[in-house]
Structure 1
Amino acid sequence: MKILRWLLGIVAVLLLVVVVAALWALRTESGSGFVLARVQASLGDKLAIRKISGTLAGPLILEGVRYRDTGIDAQIERVTFDAELLPLWSKTLHIRNLELAGLNVALTTQPAPTATPPSEPFSTQLPLSILLDRLHIEHAAITQDAKPVFALDTLDTAARWTATEIAIGKFSLRAPDGSIDLNANVANARGYRGGGKLSFDWHVAEQHYAGTLDASSDGSKAITALLLAQPIAATLHADVLQNDALPWTLTLSVPSFDPRILSPDSTLKTLTAELSGEGDKRSANVTGALTADAHRINLDPLKLALDGQTLKLLALTLTTPEAAGKLHAQGEVKLDAKPVSAQLALSWEDVVLPVNLAGQTLASHGEINTQGSAEQFAAQGKLSLGPPGQLADIVLDLSGTPQAIALKALDISRGSAGSLDAHGTVNLQPQLGWDLTAKADKLNPGAFAKDWPGAINFSLVTQGTQTPDGPAATIKLSQLSGTLRQRPLAGSADLKIKPKFVLDGTLELNSGKSEISVRGRGGEQTDADITLAIASLGDWLPKSAGSLRGQFHVNGKWPAIDVNGQLDAQKIVSGTSHLDSLNLRINAHDLSKPQGQLDLHANGIAAAQFSISDLTLKANGSQAAHQLQLDATGTPLGAHLSLSGGLQGDDWQGALNTLLLQIKDQPDWTLQQPASIAYVKGDLQLGEFCLKGGAPSLCLSATQMASGASHGQFRLEHLPLAMLAKLASPESTLKLNGEINGNGDFSRAGSGELSGKATLSSTSGGIIYPDDATHPLLSYENFAIDTVLSPQQIATSLHAAFNDGGRLDGQITLDGAAGSDQALNGKIEFGLKNLGFIELFTAELVSTKGQIDGTLHLGGSSSKPNISGDLALTNFASEVPSAGLKLHDGAIKLNSSDGEQFAIDGTLGSGAGALSVQGTLGVAANAPLRLHIKGDKFIAADIPAARAVIAPDLNVIGDGKSYRVDGEVELSSADIDLAKLPGGGTATAKRSADVVIVGEDQQKAAASLPLTANVTIKLGQGEKLNLDLRQGQEIKLKGFGLDGTLAGQLVVSELPGRPTSARGQINVNGTYKAYGQDLKIQDGRLQFAGPIDNPGLDIRAIRVLADQNITAGVRVQGTANRPALTVYSDPVMDQSEALSYLVLGKPLRSASGDDSNRLGAAATALGTASGDLLAKSIGGKLGVDDIGVADNSTLGGAAFSVGKYLSPRLYVSYGVGIFTPGELVTLRYKLTERYNIEVQSASTSNRAGINYRYEH
């Protein structure tokens, strides 16, 4: 028993020692130091800790921690660690707090290991759970081989990784390159149920990336949404079913952007993408469209399949709405081949490229097959290309390696394009070289480029290589003949080019009457002549003209080449530009260190909006000291300047000595003193540069450093607003007064950060009447714009006081680094108490009064600004003299929450009535429009000739592409006097039906508004049923003998591209004064069932002779374009007798001489067709030989004439113009049966002639 007690005692003591030792190691600073010392010892000299404080039980603080091993050197200025130790017994590491400050990790590249251990599959199950309540890292940097890789300012996170869940409650990274925020949780089990959101705003090199990523999973389906804001806007939605097949769907939307943002060398200006797809882990099916520079390409469809290690392109079909036809592609990629190999088959059919794409209509079909890898490839194809119906057959066969490409065949067979046979090789490595042969027989370039038709024959053989001293090549061109652009073509070449550009041999090319020749003399250095004898520039270039004569001699040892020569040009035309004459003389020595002289003189230059009557350019000197002088006299700008400088090594320093700018209708601007210009060690500097134009002056200086940093200053004094307005719009009659002053000082750091400030101000000014400077339409005082730039903000304030208490105040800021998508904030308030300036924009309004007040709030970002706010027009009043209107009590409110769509609510009074407008409208080209216009007792016209009161109730909707108007307009009352209308109410002369204007229909269609309308027009007050014809007295019409009323209802319809039509009827009542009588309108109807300008007519006007029990009248039938007039009576009698009763009130037999004139005029009024027949009937009864209505060329239209034979040979007539004023007396004397003499005397001219008559 004693031994047992001793053993138990020893165990207890040992346990006590262990417990005490553990407590000492964990909860005392010395014990913790001892443990860490043992760790350091176990790692050798890899781990060093300068200072330890605290305990392992927490908190533990380590300072000066450094760990060094092969390829890594990590240093931490301070580590704070606090953890719970007891959970370790349950396999849980619980860290309450971990802080790292001043973390620097230096990595060095190490040789790759000779053997890589086999990788283990990733597992989310850890041997223990990790709970991290807080991790904070402040100021960390990672370098690789002494080059910065990554840096951060702060990182804060909290996370947990257990057997059931992986969660990041918070991840917030802030760094010089941007920021990243993440929160996510995922179940640590099959299906990975959970979700998360990632926000990022990051710079990589010169590129900026920003956006959000949302992802979620319910265990059976994962959904992802990516919203990219930078560098381009893009939206991606994808979902995946979480089973073995992994079926997925996705949509990608990329609005229009500039591809040069991603690829600066891209030639595209805009690109848009809309794609959608579906598939699984072994297949994909994608459809959509790409739009490049407004050219749309449809992807319909793209089908991919993965078969083991082979990726198959099952189908790819491309189409475009701009061209007929389809492009197909099929192929496969062997992913397990070494190197990866592929084969692709392209084919297209029925492709027709329109003129706007190819410059001419081109049709094509064909196929191309490619196969191989990056080490060896081949392509063969057969295609046809050319104008429709004139296709040329083309055969292509080539193969290649990274070292060379062998062109086995490039053949164009006979047809509209003639034939071409080319073959050879092109060496790519170790140096560029070629060996090519080509032969053409009646080759027609116009089959592929419409401006270059011809039939060319030639044989070409060329070999060469590219050496460090230039090309070494031979060119042999023979048998050049045929035509090009309808000009005979001839020439030959036998040239050898040795390194250092030594030319030996000749080249001669002739087109039309023009010749270009080059002759080299070989030897050890360049010695060549170039001769230009261009009789017409049109011999070589389309849409060109003019002559060129030139001779140049090039000699010397490369690169010390001398060039001497001259060029003369006359009457040069190219497109819309032209040049009357040009003379160039050049004498340059040693182009590697240029020196010599250049003289150029030209006159009669016209290009774009500029015209230069005389231009002289002189340059002379050497590389060390040279001068340039330019004198140009022209419109609207002339310039005279002199420049001098010198180059020493790579640095150039000089000065702009003189500068005179002559601007049309402006004072001359003169450089006040020479301005230094220098380019030294990559820095570009412009010294003090001051221009003065009388009182106004502009001074600036600038420096651009090689590091990317820059600095600039400007000063502006007494610049007239009138000068700016004249330069901006030379033809404008707008008059401005006032002056602008300002100054600025800007800097940009090499990293892109901005700093500086600028101010523009104007003490007073305004917009004035062109003919009355004493009454400004809008005036201001103390206008100022101030801008302050700092690395993280651009702030601008603006202020102005307008006349009559108006104001403008604003604050605008852009927060964030320059070049990033800066946050926009701001507020602009303004008020205009005087609206006289509106009269500048329309001549219809006078005496305009009222005020406009508004507040705009700016938000969003620099790339996507958002403007919201309110705009209110109150107390608006104005007069419209042309309509006699006095508008009053106008009030309109506009409100917007996004700056794109506005809600409108307004009223406007006229007379005792008013109009109201409610709805929404937008500023974008395709913004929706919805308006409701309603009014009552609104005076729409109030002039002596007409007074009209309306009551509209209309709805207007549109989307920028088309508009629709529905509703009704009630013409409540009207009093119209046609005789008092402008022009006396006469109708506009109509063009004769036999006059045709070519293209008029297309012009009208292009100019017509895409409007659809269905509007009911009611004449008179009160409710009416559809097409109600009840008479009223509200609409009165007077003029030209008519005194009556109108009533009725029309439904007016408008469709795009069609004439306006109407259906309905208008009734006319009242009297019509004609032939000295008041005719009563018995029945008057205008019937509409088609075009609104051609209603059907059914009108009767009568005269009742009660004492004779006779009623006579006139009836108008037919249509407005083709009226038919007849005279009738009751009881029935012939028309001439009825007309006599209608006009004279008595039978024709009782008519006197004066009565006959009245009857003739009455017959004339019936029209040139029916009136002529009736006039002849009356004339026969009155005893005259000739009476009637007919066209008369002397009077320029229809005329009523009466004639009488005074003898068998002498005839006299008198005529009066019906539609054109004038009188005509004609005297005709018969000489023989075939000849007569005719003399005419008219109110506008006189003439005489001999007439010849021949009948067969």
Structure 2
Amino acid sequence: ELDSRGPATLEGSGRLSGLPAEPAVEADITGRVAGWPGVPADVEDLVLSLSGRPDEWRAESSARVTGDEIPPGQWSLELSGSTRSLAIESLDARLLDGRVSGSGQLDWSESAPASRARLQLDGLDLTPLYPQWPNQGRISGQLAVATEAGAIDIESLDLRADPGDLSVTGSGTIDPAGDSVDVTLEWQQFAWPPVTDDAEPIVSSESGRIHLTGRISDWRAQVEAMMDSPRTPAARIEAEASGSREAADIRRLNIDAGEHGSLALNGRITWLPTMSADVDLALDSFDPGVFVGQLPGRIDGRAAIRLTRDEHWRLELGLDELEGRLRGQPLRGSGRLSWVDDRPEAADVSLQLGDNRIAVNNRETAAWQVELEAVSLEQLWPTLEGEARLEGGLQPEAGRLELTGGVDGLRYRDYNLEQADVDLRLTWLDRPSVKLAISGRNLDLRPWDRVDQLELTLDGTCEQHRLELNASGARGNIDLAAGGELGECLEGGLEWRGEVERLYLGETLAGDWRLAGAMPLTLSGRRVRAGSACLTTAADTPARLCLEELDLGESGRVVTRIERVPMDLLLLPIDPVFSLTTPLSGRVEAAWEAAGLSRLDGQLQLDSGVLKAIGDDQELLAIDSLRLDLQPGEDVPLTVGLQASLEGETTISGNARVADLRNLAETTLEGEARINLPDIAAFAHLVPRVDRIAGSAIGRVELTGPVTNPSVSGRLALEDGEIVHAPLGLDVRAIELELSGSADRAALSGRAESGDGELALTGQARLLEEGWRVDSTIEGKQFAFAGADWLELTASPRVTLEARPDEVRIDGDIRIDRLRGGLPPGTADKIEPSPDVEVRGETEDGEASAVAARREIRGRLGIDLGDDASLETESFRTELAGALELVWNGPPKPEGRGTIRLPDGSYRAYGQNLEIGGGEIIFTGRAIDDPRLDIRAVRDIFGDPEIESAGVHIAGSARNPEIELYTDPPTSQEKALAYVVTGSDFDHAGGQGALNVGFYLLPKLFVSYGVGLFETGNVLSGRYELSRHWGVRVVSGERDTGVDLSYTVNN
């Protein structure tokens, strides 16, 4: 019998017989292996069966395997073998929503063992491994490998993605004993991960081929590939190399990006008997954007790289010339740099990009001079702004560095720093020491979190140093001091030991807090340990936030104790918009292993208090008490219990059974909420654009089942409710709503009053196999939907709505009892952005349509305008009549059928008031926003025997209307304009409307040129003044040419 506890929790039984001549075993084992040191996976639900003799045995196993770096999956394995061979009869893994299967065998009976293996991939979804790329194809393929007499034979490699064009194939042989190699790898449309949209993958190549052939002692390699990415230009890579067991000669490595330039590299790399390299690099009009999309440009350059190792590592870099443009800025640079082991030896380097310059040299002194002047950081990187300056000296032999500088107007994404100064003194040889001072002001960590002043100092040696931080901001002040020692200073295996001597948090929403005593602290590798310490306050009701134990690492433990701590202090890091005045008390213990959380224990309790919006004294919700219990158990790792008493007689109770702390999706819920809120008015803060809500809420809700798909049942009701929205003049009162339901059905009923009318709502919902189906009806009579100065709307609707997972059906009619429409205040003065302005994060119309189009809309909605409807704006007024039917046939935008008449109105155009009579807006089954127009705005003409009226006729499509001036009886366009604007003709003799531009050539000679407004043509004229009264005018045009003699009576 087997029974073990610990990382390996196993149970089972077995039998060993036939000893000692012919031993045989039969065993069956179940259990789990979790948290085993050094093993990055947990094995759950393990079932193992083993039987047979050493020369003929068989094993079967199945288990669920999970881990931080491997996807969870169900694995099964069937093995058989003897003392001379092993056969994997079946390998099957269900993971990544796909399958991995395989088989193989290993035979070590001969002097050189042989093996064969085959692996099959089917429909693997890599999205959980690369969640940043949500749209990926599924990976399928196979790999077959065999070995014999020390030679490795890759029989086939085939990898593909569906959907997608990814294809990777390969084959080859590697024979160390025979001194031969022949391997080929080819691919088409390679992208990893295999994205199916325009997202940029980690690596992308249109096509490529790698061929390695020859002897291992004298091999040759060729590489051809086309690299491609949505954000970088395409580039062709070609490489040829040859070599032996000791070295490689790179004959050529070219990256040709076409119009984006090229990069070439050649040289020799040796790894036996010692490491060395001698490589030359050349750039010809090369665009770095091929590799880094944020750095487009054109660069020419030559560089030599030399690497040697004897007693020391030595690297020499010679930058012979570097020039071109980068990110639209001129680039220049040159210099030499040498490095020995872990320290620089000599340098003379200068780089300049636009207005930014950095120089490092030690030409005249042993000390290196470092100078950075970056007056336009935005020229260096797209998300950087501001200025930076830095200067100082570096003495490598003495192990000393001195730098002073600062930044002004620094901005990176949402982080801003108005100004900061830096002063650094660093030594690292005999007795390493540091003296650092940073002071800054107006640091915006996030758009809503500003630090007004910041002072940071670090001073001391490895054996003894001190850190101080002082910062003040809108959310409070912090004063921190710590000191300690750094063991094995700068020698690797660092361990810092010290203590936080002072910590003060002042002027927070929760008052002033300070550290009661020094807190021991140790940092070693990836582990952090802290001793017990408490934050306390000097308020009338003393509170304490204590850390009893902290051990952070791959595995660890933390224990905290809380004594009447205001929730506002604990919520401070998330910048809440609400204030919770209830104090929190309790104790929580948590432990974890490499695989995840392993233990959670404790209880938390909130005393009485209120929830309210910050900056507003109105209470949103009163909290009498709340208690949360975390209890580890024998049958389940954790049971979470909740008991809460809220405003009125509202209570919430329930528990959650967490079956696996590392997989919360397996949690089951069981809870109940009894709601009795006498007044919900305070919750208006939670409803956008609503000025006031009122009413009382009562109900009971039960929640049961798995956390991923819980079952909800119960009843909720709103009584004597009210909603007020001032901009629309909406005042809905006497609201009665009731929602009841169970796991697979729900019912909704309600009524409300507004104006002199009322509205009723009923609905039923059922859970079908394909999803929820909702049937609802809205009926109303003279219900006031708006009552503002610019909009009054009273209507009587009768509408039914059927909603399914894939379709929505609408049927009904709305009668308009009263409509007085206009424009909202300020609309006339609104300034629209320029068409070329793009708003980051704004949803494109196509994206919105795609989201809406996932569910089809079908049905009709009739609208009867009745006999009391009108529309009025600053320059337009009309009565409205008629009817319109909206029809949906799938897309969310409906079609329109019907006619809206404009029986009487006025329209102000060309500075005149024109009367509207008999206009029509005609909907003929086209899109609702593209009806046909037939509107005439007319004015009567008096005193002209030929013309009775003149006006504007708007006709055609609403998207592309035709606007025409006309008269009755008809005349020319220019005369129609004259009649509309002035009520009479400009020139009864028949002139031509034109735009004239002229000037005086001589004091008495005026020349002008005119272009027709309504007809094509132009006119050239000249006028000469013979005397004060007499003048002559010459005209030449396409219609008329002549000479006029004029006499002026009054000049």
2:468 equivalent to 1:622: no
Contact 1:850–1:877 (Cα < 8 Å) also in 2: no
User: Quick check: 1:738 aligned with 2:581?
Assistant: yes
d(CA) in 2 for partners of 1:904 and 1:169?
57
Match of 1:173 among 12, 18, 30: 30
Maintained 8 Å contact 1:392/1:416 = no
Look up the equivalent residue of 2:12 and give its one-letter code.
L
Which residue of structure 2 lines up, in the alignment, with residue 331 of structure 1? 171
Q: CA deviation at 1:456?
A: 1.6
How far the C-alpha of 1:488 sits from its partner, in A, is: 5.3
Q: Does 1:700 align with 2:536?
A: no
TM-score, normalization: structure 2? 0.67
1:785: how far off?
A: 1.5
Q: Which among 62, 65, 74 is matched to residue 211 of structure 1?
A: 74
Return the match for 1:1090 from 900, 914, 926: 926
1:1124 aligned residue: 936
Report how far residue 588 of structure 1 moved.
2.8
Q: Which residue of 2 aligns with 1:473?
A: 315
User: Any idea what the Cα deviations from partners look like across 1:859-882, whole Å, max 9, x if unmatched?
Assistant: 37xxxx442232422465533455
Which residue of the partner structure matches residue 895 of structure 2? 1061
Which amino acid in the other structure matches residue 764 of structure 2? Q
Written as runs of structure 1 = structure 2, the 5 A alignment for 1:660-809 is 660-661=504-505, 667-679=511-523, 684-690=529-535, 692=537, 698-704=545-551, 708-721=555-568, 728=574, 732=577, 736=579, 738-746=581-589, 748=591, 757-767=601-611, 776-789=619-632, 793-809=637-653
Contact 2:808 2:858 in 1 (8 A): yes
Could you tell me whether the CA contact under 8 Å between 1:745 and 1:757 is conserved in 2? yes
Query: Would the aligned equivalents of 1:386 and 1:448 in 2 still touch at CA under 8 Å?
Result: no
Query: Does structure 1 residue 852 correspond to structure 2 residue 732?
Result: no
CA distance in 2, matches of 1:797, 1:501: 60
TM-superposed CA distance for 1:396, in Å, is 0.6
Shift of 1:579: 4.6
Retained in 2: the 8 A contact 1:354–1:361?
no
Q: CA deviation at 1:629?
A: 1.8
Give the distance between the partners of 2:880 and 2:359, measured in 1 at CA: 89
Which letter maps to 2:390? R
| Alpha-carbon distance, 1:1047 to partner | 7.3
Match of 1:245? none
Higher deviation after alignment, 616-625 or 650-659: 650-659
Contact 1:1171 1:1188 in 2 (8 A): no
Task: Find the partner of 1:641 among 470, 477, 480.
Answer: 480
Partner of 1:841: 686
Give the Cα separation in 2 of the matches to 1:629 and 1:155.
59
* Superposition deviation, residue 760 in structure 1: 2.6
CA distance in structure 2 between the partners assigned to 1:554 and 1:1136 by the alignment: 97
How far apart, CA to CA, are the structure 1 residues paired with 2:905 and 2:418? 70
The offset of 1:1087, in angstroms, is 5.2
Relative distance call for 1:1088 and 1:992 in structure 2 (3 A) is farther
Equivalent AA in structure 1 for residue 304 of structure 2: L
Matched, 1:905 2:747: yes
1: CA distance, partners of 2:273 / 2:158: 39
Give 1:448 deviation, angstroms. Answer: 4.7
The reply on whether 1:873 has 2:716 as its aligned counterpart is: yes
CA 1176–717 in structure 1, closer or farther in 2 if over 3 Å, else same = farther
1:982 Cα deviation after fit: 7.0
**2:214 corresponds to 1:368:** no
1:970 partner letter: D
Q: Is contact 2:515-2:533 (8 Å) kept? A: no
Please give the per-residue CA displacement for 1:425-483, whole angstroms capped at 9, x wherever unaligned: 3334565432323344554435554524123232414132286xx52234444344555
> Cα offset for 1:999?
7.1
Counterparts of 1:953 and 1:225, CA distance in 2: 57
Larger deviation, residues 823-832 vs 580-589? 580-589
CA-based RMSD of the aligned residues comes to: 6.2
- Residue 259 of structure 2 aligns to a residue in which SS? coil
Paired with 1:414 and 1:1004, the residues of 2 have a C-alpha distance of 35
* CA distance in structure 1 between the aligned counterparts of 2:362 and 2:27, rounded to whole angstroms: 77
CA–CA distance in structure 2, aligned partners of residues 951 and 1089 of structure 1: 23
Distance 1:378 1:870, change over 3 A: farther
1:948 is matched with which residue?
Answer: 795
Q: Within the alignment, does 1:532 sit opposite 2:396 as a pair? A: no
The letter of the residue matching 1:857 is: T
Q: C-alpha separation between the residues in 2 aligned to 1:747 and 1:991? A: 57
Structure 1 residue 552: Cα displacement = 1.9
Judged with a 3 Å threshold, the aligned counterparts in structure 2 of structure 1 residues 662 and 342 are, in CA distance, closer, same or farther, namely farther
Gaps of 5+ in 1: 1-136, 142-147, 161-167, 187-195, 216-222, 241-247, 260-268, 271-291, 897-901, 1021-1033, 1096-1118, 1128-1134, 1141-1147, 1150-1158, 1178-1185, 1191-1200, 1206-1231, 1235-1252
Counterpart contact for 2:658–2:668, Cα < 8 Å: yes
| Equivalent residue in structure 2 for 1:458, among 280, 298, 302 | 302
CA separation of 1:253 and 1:916: change in aligned 2, threshold 3 A: farther
State the one-letter code of the partner of 1:332.
Answer: G
Deviation at 1:550, TM superposition (A): 1.0
Whole-angstrom distance in 1 between the partners of 2:96 and 2:33: 23
The yes-or-no answer on 1:1052 pairing with 2:897 is: no
CA separation in 2, counterparts of 1:813 and 1:314? 47
2:394 to 531, 553, 561: 553
Query: Cα–Cα, structure 1 residues 608 and 317, in superposed 2: closer, same or farther, change >3 Å?
Result: same
* Unmatched runs of 5 consecutive residues or more in structure 2: 18-24, 35-42, 52-58, 79-88, 104-117, 489-493, 908-914, 956-961, 972-976, 987-1003, 1007-1032, 1037-1051
2:857 is the counterpart of 1:1013: yes
- The 1:857–1:227 alpha-carbon spacing in structure 2 relative to 1, beyond 3 Å, is farther
- Which structure ranks higher in relative contact order (CA pairs < 8 Å, sequence separation ≥ 6)? 2
Distance 1:347 1:989, change over 3 A: same
Q: Is residue 595 of structure 1 aligned with residue 430 of structure 2?
A: no
Provide the rounded CA distance (Å) in 2 between the counterparts of 1:225 and 1:895: 45
- For each residue in 1:175-212, what CA deviation from the matched residue of structure 2 results, as whole angstroms up to 9, or x when unmatched? 665665669999xxxxxxxxx99753568999897637
Match of 1:296, SS?
coil
Comparing 1002-1011 and 800-809, the one that deviates more: 1002-1011
User: How many angstroms does 1:1065 deviate by?
Assistant: 5.5
Distance 1:463 1:853, change over 3 A: same
Which whole-Å CA distance do the structure 2 matches of 1:548 and 1:1085 have between them? Answer: 67
Cα deviations by residue, 1:207-253 (Å, 9 ceiling, x for unpaired): 897637599xxxxxxx999675xxx654539899xxxxxxx998845
With normalisation by structure 1, the TM-score equals: 0.58
Q: For 1:258 and 1:398, locate their aligned partners in 2 and report how far apart those are by CA, in whole Å.
A: 38
Shift of 1:639: 3.4
2:2 to 138, 152, 171: 138
Instruction: State the alpha-carbon separation in 1 of the partners of residues 70 and 235 from structure 2.
Output: 47
Q: 2:991 matched to which residue of 1?
A: none
Amino acid at match of 1:437: D
For residue 778 of structure 1, what is the amino acid of its counterpart?
L
616-625 vs 430-439, which moves further:
430-439
C-alpha change, 1:763 and 1:715, in structure 2 (3 Å) is closer
Give 1:806 deviation, angstroms. 1.6
1:490 Cα deviation from its structure 2 partner? 4.8
- Give 3-state SS (helix, strand or coil) of 2:740's partner: strand
Number of the residue aligned with 2:239 = 396
Q: Determine if contact 1:197/1:212 at 8 Å carries over to the other structure.
A: no
Cα deviation code 1:780-839 (max 9, x no counterpart): 3121222234686222211112333221011223245x5477953441110212271654
1-side partners of 2:343 and 2:138: how far apart? 49
**Change in CA separation of 1:799 and 1:362 when aligned onto 2, cut-off 3 Å:** closer
Closer, same or farther: CA 726–888 of 1 in aligned 2, 3 Å:
same
Separation in structure 1 between the aligned mates of residue 60 and residue 552 of structure 2, nearest angstrom: 42
Q: Distance in 1 between matches of 2:161 and 2:938?
A: 69
2:172 partner amino acid: E
The 1:336/1:765 distance shift into structure 2, 3 A limit, reads same
Structure of higher CA gyration radius:
1
Q: Which whole-Å CA distance do the structure 1 matches of 2:135 and 2:692 have between them?
A: 46
